[in-house]
Amino acid sequence: MKKLFVAVALVMGMSTLVANATEMATVSSVMVMSGDGQPIELSDLPEAVVNSIATIFGELTAKSAMIEVNAEGEEFYVIVFTDNEGNFLDVSFDEFGKIIG
């Protein structure tokens, strides 16, 4: 009986850990938008980036975009997406629509 109680307690503890990790992942995705980049309208994205978004992430909703500069001085675009459940995903593209992060 003790083993059953310990097993149930472990499962409950792990589910709390997973829930907290999921919450932290969502927050970290949003924090990308508070970097040094400049917000940009989705309609102002390069056509190659727009095409990549439509082709690869068509089932997601693009919520916001930011233009940033890497250490080499090259511009890239960070797009924040949401799915139907409200989860966030941020993806970086170069000016040619290639995913870089």
In the predicted structure, residue 77 carries a pLDDT above the cut 70: yes
Question: Which DSSP state fits 25?
Answer: H
Please indicate whether residue 37 or residue 51 has the higher confidence score (pLDDT). Answer: 51
| CA atoms 40, 44, 45, 50: torsion sign | positive
Nearest to 63 by CA among 94, 35, 32, 36: 32
**Whole-structure pTM value:** 0.64
Q: Give the contacts of 28 (CB within 8 A, at least 6 positions apart).
A: none
In the predicted structure, residue 28 carries a pLDDT above the cut 70: no
What is the arithmetic mean of pLDDT over 16-26? 37
Nearest to 76 by CA among 47, 99, 53: 99
